[in-house]
Amino acid sequence: MKPSLPSRPPGFVYKSNKLHVEKIAASDLARRFGTPLYTYSATTIRERFDIFNRAFGKVPHTICYSVKANSNLTILKMLVKLGSGFDVVSGGELERVLVVDKKAAKKVVFSGVGKTAPEMDLAIKSDILLFNIESESELELLASRASKLRKKPRIAFRVNPDVPAETHPYISTGLREHKFGVPITDAALLYAQAASTEWLEPAGVSVHIGSQITDVAPFNATMERVADLVRGLRAQGHNIRLIDGGGGLGIAYRDGDTSLKAFEASAKNYSAALLPPLNSLGIHLLLEPGRAIIGPAGALLTRVVYSKKNGRKTFVIVDAGMNDLIRPALYGAYHEIVAAEPRGTGAETVDVVGPVCETGDFFARDRELTHLEEGDLVAILDAGAYGMSQTSNYNTRPRPAEVLVEGSRAKVVRRRETIKDLLGPER
């Protein structure tokens, strides 16, 4: 039986019955660097960024990659070289951007509902592009910090358009019952309040309705409401010249096509939804893709430790756990799981689980997979986004190494943690 993958980026293909990350066999990577192991295709990252960027080429725009999706420094440096800006949601993420390139701060937008005074100070001093303000209290604190530092940061309010989006409730952010943003009906008063302060410059409007959205209609409805708001704010004398459209464009985790051709069509559909309401406004558009760029570019390699039966259930126990990839446990998320070197001996229905002491420690339940034996290597695909960035040390488990592959070269971009690393901060 010849192994095959769902339509994938060119970074993950079978050659001579072996799964390859670009030109290197996954089994070779596992032997060299151990498992669990995050692997990324540099070519896929670069090509997906370029495709997304071209989709908005007709309008002034800046891609502000969502750092929370994957914050590895080497990947951030790659994106800087491609001309990317960044969306950050913490002072720590901003520090990562500054380590990579201090000049990149001028393309940073700072989102998040709980910015602290020290985080604000760092961002003000770094002269970031835009603060996305999410409450009146945050407005007051930012004005106070700006006054103390004698600098005038550019701001936008993240408005909540109350547009529903079909996605998991944990990553839906655009409804009135969510913690994010301010009601769009309150925006006029809040912009007037901001403009009355000496040390804030209202410059934009921000919106973000959620993550992993595959139907573009909600994006269009959102931009219609944002465009109306911008016209109203300009009529009141505010110089609104930036619109932050957020991120949220999803990928096909299950039974889908994540090839570059499919992504090009998806990105074009996304731009066709966002742009028409903004045509007459003459604005600069900010975009915050994360998963759409990095998701299909990564895979988690893990080795089968044991296989066992409990009654009618067959469990394949691997050396990665929910601390290494929490999405299935947290969201019930689906990831394709494939053998690195398929045996061609038929399929069986199994649960793929980890060693963590939780029933929720699973990667797949009742999944039909090619027969796997102890010692076999498997790849959990589309793990480039919200994989390593959500890892933990639960059960005192060191986090995996990360390897970036480009052609026939593999570079460790984060070494595997050791127990010494984990115990070091403790007294």
For the annotated binding site for pyridoxal 5'-phosphate, the residues are 248, 288-291, 386
Contact 274, 217 (CB under 8 A): no
Select from 222, 286, 210 the least CA-distant residue to 249.
210
Cα–Cα distance for residue pair 263/36, rounded to 1 Å: 28
Q: For residue 24, is it left (φ>0), alpha (ψ between -120 and 50) or beta?
A: beta
Contact 388, 320 (CB under 8 A): no
| DSSP, residue by residue, 237-252 | T----EEE----B---
Please report, in range form, the residues annotated as the binding site for substrate. Answer: 291, 327, 331, 358, 386
The values of phi and psi at residue 192, to 5°, are -65, -40
What is the 8-class DSSP label of residue 96? H
Q: Degrees (nearest 5) of the Cα angle 26, 30, 33?
A: 130
Give the rounded distance of the alpha carbon of 92 from its chain centre. 16
Instruction: For residue 270, give Cα distances in angstroms to 249, 251, 275, 290, 395.
Output: 7, 12, 9, 14, 41
Select from 221, 228, 226, 220 the least CA-distant residue to 272.
220
Is 357 noted as a catalytic residue in this protein?
yes
Select from 262, 260, 286 the least CA-distant residue to 274.
286
Angle between helices 91-100 and 73-81 (to 10 degrees): 60
Contact 208, 173 (CB under 8 A): yes
The single residue of 57, 311, 346, 357 carrying the catalytic annotation is: 357
Please report, in range form, the residues annotated as the binding site. Answer: 248, 288-291, 327, 331, 358, 386
Give the rounded distance of the alpha carbon of 140 from its chain centre. 30
Q: Which amino acid is at 168?
A: H
Q: Which residues contact 96 (CB under 8 A, 6 or more apart)?
A: 67, 71, 73, 76
Peptide bond into 36 cis (omega under 30): yes
Give the rounded distance of the alpha carbon of 109 from its chain centre. 15
As a whole number of Å, the CA-based R_g of the chain is 23
Q: Copy the structure tokens of residue 321.
A: 């756990």
Cα–Cα distance for residue pair 425/427, rounded to 1 Å: 7
Q: Which residues are catalytic?
A: 357
